[in-house]
Amino acid sequence: MSEDRSQPKILAFVMAGGEGNRLQPLTSERSKPSVPFGGRYRIVDFVLSNLINSNIRCIYLLVQYKSQSLIDHIRKAWTISPLIPEQFVTVVPPQMHSGSSWFNGTADAVYQNINLIREHQPDIIAVFGADHIYRMDIRQMVRFHMHRQADVSVAALPMPIDQATNFGVIEIDSDGRIRGFQEKPDQPEAIPSDSEQAYVSMGNYLFDTHALIEALQSMRRRNETDFGRHVLPMMLESHKLFAYDFFTNKVPDIKSYEERGYWRDVGSLDAYFEANQDMLGMTPRFDIFNPQWPIYSSSYQGPVARVIGGQIENSLLGAATVINQAHVRNCIICRESFIEPGVELEDCIIMDYVRIGQGAKLRRAIVDCHNFIEANSRIGYDSEKDRQRYHVTPSGLVVVPLGDTSYYARGSRGKGGGYNE
């Protein structure tokens, strides 16, 4: 460890290789962390913003599946000053230093990049997921980790026991030390101080560097690959693991109406849709506007949205979007979309570069980028017809997959220039 324990050197690995099968068809051409969210962001922007805002700026993104969209986004949105060598956000695909295979699990992904750990010689290694929507001051977790002299700290979210069955549950003793893990248990173990709640793992870890290297080498000998299933349970016998209560984390300027400890795993289409909806309204569960803890993304230079006429209710409009005599309610419309006269949109997510033709009506629908919805179309009104053309979830949410990326390049809005999603 460094001599100044108050300022440890931290290296972050962000696990950004998620395939996102449950988000199909939104992940048919992109990885889960690069799926658009909230009008102008990508899912990965939330963990990166948390790290940057926490002054952790030595960050490697470990990518794998369908990574080109994510690589392009990081190149355009996450270049930080090259004048300071230890300030960077760098994409790392499988290097195959230790074999010819891709990443076979979260721990294997870090093991395959153990040379980066040795190069930087950090005191603490942060291993965080890239698939969640939340705000977190990671410095507070670091202080907890150091105060407890922990080998591993696991971010833990208190959750009602009946909901915790869908997650990995952490068993702790009365002082917060971890003594076991349960994977999606039928009967989650309650927090000792609260019989109605269980601790759910958020998939965010802090490791003492020496302890992590030791554990990864042991994991390799045992042909194991994953932190949650293999490495952490193995370390329980020989190391000190503690649960960090996410509800104790305080981010500045969180509004009184926001949900305490807001965190969402947007791994399914319905969860993704609901998390987007959580940003709407005068008192949203998650208020994206927080100047003291901003969520960063690409610095798109297009013009502001234009509303020619119509009725707009409780909606977010992306840059360069045009609303022309349409009715839009409870919707998130991303950049450079064009909504023609007579269109009715309710409870929809319309992604970048979409045109909705005159008189079309859409309800509870997600329309992916580069689509043209023909005039007088009906989506979200007849499940059987929708299933013949689109993906429909059990709750009735309709998802229109990625459209023809050459559509805008052909000048569909009377201008040249396209965008490769």
Is the model's pLDDT at 307 over the cut of 80? yes
Q: Which pLDDT does position 18 carry in this prediction?
A: 74
Q: For residues 376 and 107, which has the higher predicted lDDT (pLDDT)?
A: 376
Identify the CATH number of the domain defined by range 10-265: 3.90.550.10
Query: What average pLDDT does the segment 43-64 reach?
Result: 96
Q: Which pLDDT does position 222 carry in this prediction?
A: 79
> Per-residue confidence at 101, pLDDT binned at 50, 70, 90?
low
> Per-residue confidence at 17, pLDDT binned at 50, 70, 90?
confident
Q: Tell me: the pLDDT tens digits for 333-345? A: 999 999 999 999 9
Which helix or strand (DSSP H or E) is residue 181 part of?
strand 178-183
**What does DSSP assign to residue 189?**
P
Is the model's pLDDT at 2 over the cut of 50? no
Mean pLDDT of the chain: 91
Q: Which pLDDT does position 416 carry in this prediction?
A: 29
Q: Which pLDDT does position 52 carry in this prediction?
A: 97
Q: Tell me: the pLDDT tens digits for 116-130? A: 999 999 999 999 999
Q: For residues 237 and 421, which has the higher predicted lDDT (pLDDT)?
A: 237
Contact 335, 321 (CB under 8 A): yes
Q: Tokens 């269980």 appear where?
A: 198
Say which CATH superfamily domain 306-410 falls into: Hexapeptide repeat proteins (2.160.10.10)
- 181: phi then psi, degrees, rounded to nearest 5: -130, 145
Q: For residues 246 and 107, which has the higher predicted lDDT (pLDDT)?
A: 246
Query: What average pLDDT does the segment 211-233 reach?
Result: 88
> Per-residue confidence at 415, pLDDT binned at 50, 70, 90?
very low
Q: Tell me: the pLDDT tens digits for 379-404? A: 999 999 999 999 999 999 999 999 98
Query: What average pLDDT does the segment 137-155 reach?
Result: 98
Q: Which pLDDT does position 420 carry in this prediction?
A: 33
Lowest mean pLDDT among 147-151, 205-209, 228-232, 363-367: 228-232
Is the model's pLDDT at 412 over the cut of 60? no
> Per-residue confidence at 98, pLDDT binned at 50, 70, 90?
low
CA distances from 182 to 73, 117, 169, 186 (A): 36, 30, 5, 9
Q: Which pLDDT does position 95 carry in this prediction?
A: 66
> Per-residue confidence at 251, pLDDT binned at 50, 70, 90?
very high
Is the model's pLDDT at 417 over the cut of 60? no
Is the model's pLDDT at 79 over the cut of 90? no
> Per-residue confidence at 406, pLDDT binned at 50, 70, 90?
low
Q: Which pLDDT does position 419 carry in this prediction?
A: 33
Is the model's pLDDT at 240 over the cut of 60? yes
Percent of the chain with pLDDT over 70: 93
> Per-residue confidence at 4, pLDDT binned at 50, 70, 90?
very low
Percent of the chain with pLDDT over 90: 80
Domain boundaries, the chain: 10-265, 306-410
3 state SS for the chain: CCCCCCCCCEEEEEECCCCCHHHCCCCCCCCHHHCEECCCEECHHHHHHHHHHCCCCEEEEECCCCCHHHHHHHHHHCCCCCCCCCCEEEEECCCCCCCCCCCCCHHHHHHCCHHHHHHHCCCEEEEEECCEEECCCHHHHHHHHHHCCCCEEEEEEEEEHHHHCCCEEEEECCCCEEEEEEECCCCCCCECCECCEEEEEEEEEEEEHHHHHHHHHHHHHCCCCCHHHHHHHHHCCCCCEEEEEHHHCCCCCCCCCCCCCCEEECCCHHHHHHHHHCCCCCCCCCCCCCCCCCCCCCCCCCCCCEEEEEEEECCEECCCCEEEEEEEECCEECCCCEECCCCEEEEEEECCCCEECCCCEEEEEEECCCCEECCCCEECCCHHHHHHHCEECCCCCEEECCCCCCCHHHCCCCCCCCCCC
